[in-house]
Structure 1
Amino acid sequence: MKQISFATLAETGKKRRTKRERFLEEMEQVVPWAKLIALIEPHYPKAGRGRRPRGLETMLRIYFMQQWFNLSDPGMEDTLYDVPCMRAFAKLDLFDESMPDETTILKFRRLLEQHRLMAAIMNTINEVLEGKGLLLKGGTMVDATIIHAPPSTKNESKQRDPQMHQTKKGNNWFFGMKIHVGADVDSGLVHTVSVTPANAPDVSQLPKLLREDDRAVFGDKGYVDNRIKRAARQAGVFWGVSLKASAQHKLSGANKRFNRKMSSIRSRVEHVFRVIKRQFGYSKVRYKGLAKNAAQVFTLIGLTNLYLARRAMLT
C-alpha cells in the first residue's frame, strides 16, 4: 500500500464535496478502466535502461480529465499541482512524486493519435454500454453541429487552416468543422461519428451514420433526400426525416404535425452536443487539421456516452 501524505490526509477530512469531486467519483465508477488499459498497453513504452515511463493508468486518467475540463497540456500540468481532487483522481501525491509535465502529457496524446486509439476507445466504451443493455439497436437519430476554428490569418503562414471551411447557417457565417453523429433512438447514445469541414452537407454523411440493422431513421430537414428515402422505404425502414417546404409545395397541417412528432423523437440527440459544448466546454477546435481534431472528437463522444449513461450504470 502506498503511504498517504499528511496533505492528502487533511484533504480527505473535508466536510463538503465539490461538484468536481462528485463528478470524478462518478466517472471513477463508470469508466471501464481495465478494458481501456488493456487496449493501450501493447502500444505503451516499456521500462528499460532509460527514463522510466509514467504509469499508463495515471496518464489515461490525466488525458480524460483534459477532455472533461477542456484543459491544454500546460493547463493540465498546472491543475495537477493546484487541484487536490484531480491529483488524487490521477493517483498522484504532491509530496511523493513530481507531476507529469506538459511534454509527457503531449507525448501520451500523440501515442494515442499515432496508433489511432481514440476511435478504439470510443468503440470499447460502446461495447461495454451495449453489453449492459444501454446501447440498443433498432433506430438511429442523425444530427450535426459546427465546431468553430480560428478565422484569423495573423499567424506564421498568413492563412486560415486549409482543412477547415466556412458555411452559412441562417444569416450567419461560421468557419470550422462539423461533427456528424448517429445516435440510438432508445438510449440517445452515439454509435457512429463522422467529422468533416463545416461546408459539408449534412445529408452527405447520412449513409455513414446508419447501421445495417436500423429499422427507423430520424433527422431534421438537412437530411431530406428523395433517393435515399425511396431506398429506405423499399427496405422496410421507417423514414422519420422532417418534411421540407418549397416554393411550389407548402406544408399542410398534417405535414406540420408529422414534423412536430418527428422533432419530439429526434430532439434527444441534441443532449450529446449539449454535453460536449457546455459540460465539457468543447466549442472551438484545439488543433490544426481535421485528423487531430477528429481524434479528440472520438474520445469526447465516448466520454459523453458514459456521462449520459452514468446514472443507469451506477444503479
Structure 2
Amino acid sequence: MARRSIGQEQFGFAGREQAASSLDALVRLIDWNQVAALLDPLYPATKGEPAWPPLAMFRALLLSIWYDLSDVKLAEALDDRASFRRFCGFTANEATPERTAFVRFRKLLVAHKLDRALFEGVTLQLKSKAVTVKTGTLVDATIIASASDEDNDARWVKHKGKRAVHGFKAHVGADADTALVEEVSVTSANINDGKAGPAAVPDNPGEVFADSAYRGNHFRDAVLAKGGVPRIVATGMWGRHEAETLRKLHAWNKPIHRVRGRIEKIFGTWKRCYGLRRMRWRGIANAAAQVHLTAIAYNLKRTMNILAAQA
C-alpha cells in the first residue's frame, strides 16, 4: 500500500504568526527517524488507497493521550489546530485523517505488537538525555477499569475499603530520581503484585523500592538476579522488646515510603490528565497498547520538563 506524502507545501503557514507551542519542542526532543523505522512494517501491501504516514499517525495518537481526546475529537482537533498539524507534519491546507483511520492504525500497531517496541525505543532515547547515574527504581502497580464488564480478559478485584473493579493491572518500574517509566507489564487485575513484579524491574535497577505487596522470595530473588538491592516495606519484625522493635520497623520503612511514594504521581498523571481511568478498548493486547502509549506520552513530557529545569 502506497503512503501519502504530507508536509509538501513550503509556505503552508506563511502569512500568519505561529503561536509558540510545547509540541514544537517535543518534535526536537528525540530522533523521530528511529521511531519511523520501527513503524516501517505497517502498510506493506502495494494495492489499495494510499495510507497516511505511520509516524504522523503515531504522533496523532500521542496527542490523543496528552489532551485526552476520543478518535472523533482527535480528528476534529487535527483538522482545526495549527500546533497539532505541525506536530504531525501536516501543512495548513492538507487533508487530515478521519476517525476510522486512527482505529485502523491502532489495530495494526497491536497486530504487529509494536507498542512495546515503540515504548522501549523511545524510552531508550529519553534515558540517554535525562538519566545520568542510575541509583534506584520504584516498582508498583495500579488498577485500571476495563472498557466493558464483558471484557473476557479482565478480572474482578476487591481491596479492603474500596469497591470492586473489573479491569487490568499495570505493573510499572520507574527511575527513582527522574520518575521516567522504564518497564511496563500489563496483566488482569487479579494477578498478585509480587508475582508480576519481576517483569517491571529493569536490568541493573539499583535499590528497588516497593510496598509490602512485594514481600516474598519470588520478587526479592528476581531483583537480586538483575543486580538490584530490595528495599521492601516490612509489616513486622522479630524482637524481644516491643518498643525497640517498633522503632526499628519505623526506621526501616520511613525512607522506603518517602522514596516509593513518588510513583503515585506517575499514576495520578496517567489517570487525571491522560484519560487512563478506564481502558478504551477490550482485550489485554489492546489494554497493553494503551498503557504503553500512555507511558511513551508521559516519558516525553517528563523528559522535556527535566531538561527545561536543568537549563
Distance verdict in 2 for CA 1:190–1:235, change over 3 Å: closer
Distance verdict in 2 for CA 1:313–1:124, change over 3 Å: farther
Distance in 2, Cα, partners of 1:136 & 1:264: 20
Structure 2 match to 1:162: 152
Would the aligned equivalents of 1:135 and 1:187 in 2 still touch at CA under 8 Å?
no
Would the aligned equivalents of 1:136 and 1:186 in 2 still touch at CA under 8 Å?
no
Letter in 1 for 2:37: A
Quote the offset at 1:138 in angstroms.
Answer: 4.8
The counterpart of 2:143, out of the listed 128, 131, 146, is 146
Would the aligned equivalents of 1:126 and 1:135 in 2 still touch at CA under 8 Å?
no
Structure 2 match to 1:4: 11
Quote the offset at 1:77 in angstroms.
Answer: 1.3
Cα displacement string for residues 62-105 of structure 1 (whole angstroms, at most 9, x for unaligned residues): 122122222222222122233332233223245x3322112222
Quote the offset at 1:238 in angstroms.
Answer: 3.0
Structure 2 match to 1:293: 287
Distance verdict in 2 for CA 1:234–1:145, change over 3 Å: closer
> Is it true that 1:22 corresponds to 2:21 in the alignment?
yes
- RMSD across aligned C-alpha pairs, in angstroms? 3.0
Would the aligned equivalents of 1:135 and 1:184 in 2 still touch at CA under 8 Å?
no
Distance in 2, Cα, partners of 1:30 & 1:214: 25
1:140-289 residue pairs with structure 2 within 5 A?
140-150=137-147, 160-172=150-162, 173-226=164-217, 228-229=219-220, 237-245=228-236, 252-289=246-283
Residue-pair matches, total: 297
Unaligned runs of 5+ in 1: 153-159
Quote the offset at 1:143 in angstroms.
Answer: 0.5
Would the aligned equivalents of 1:179 and 1:196 in 2 still touch at CA under 8 Å?
yes
Distance in 2, Cα, partners of 1:131 & 1:233: 24
Would the aligned equivalents of 1:130 and 1:136 in 2 still touch at CA under 8 Å?
no
Cα displacement string for residues 220-274 of structure 1 (whole angstroms, at most 9, x for unaligned residues): 121121565478679985331111149x998702212321211111122223212
Matched position secondary structure for 1:41: coil
Unaligned runs of 5+ in 2: 1-7
Cα displacement string for residues 92-144 of structure 1 (whole angstroms, at most 9, x for unaligned residues): 245x3322112222222222112111111111112212333527545321111
The counterpart of 2:115, out of the listed 105, 115, 118, is 118
Distance in 1, Cα, partners of 2:57 & 2:159: 39
Distance verdict in 2 for CA 1:252–1:49, change over 3 Å: closer
Distance in 1, Cα, partners of 2:210 & 2:181: 14
Distance in 1, Cα, partners of 2:75 & 2:203: 44
What TM-score do the two structures reach when normalised by structure 1? Answer: 0.82
Would the aligned equivalents of 2:169 and 2:188 in 1 still touch at CA under 8 Å?
yes
1:52-131 residue pairs with structure 2 within 5 A?
52-93=50-91, 96-131=93-128
What TM-score do the two structures reach when normalised by structure 2? Answer: 0.83
Distance in 1, Cα, partners of 2:223 & 2:47: 60
Quote the offset at 1:197 in angstroms.
Answer: 1.2
Distance in 2, Cα, partners of 1:210 & 1:234: 10
Would the aligned equivalents of 1:224 and 1:244 in 2 still touch at CA under 8 Å?
no
Would the aligned equivalents of 2:147 and 2:281 in 1 still touch at CA under 8 Å?
no
Give % identity: 28
Would the aligned equivalents of 1:143 and 1:182 in 2 still touch at CA under 8 Å?
yes
Matched position secondary structure for 1:171: coil
Distance in 1, Cα, partners of 2:274 & 2:79: 21
Would the aligned equivalents of 2:148 and 2:282 in 1 still touch at CA under 8 Å?
no
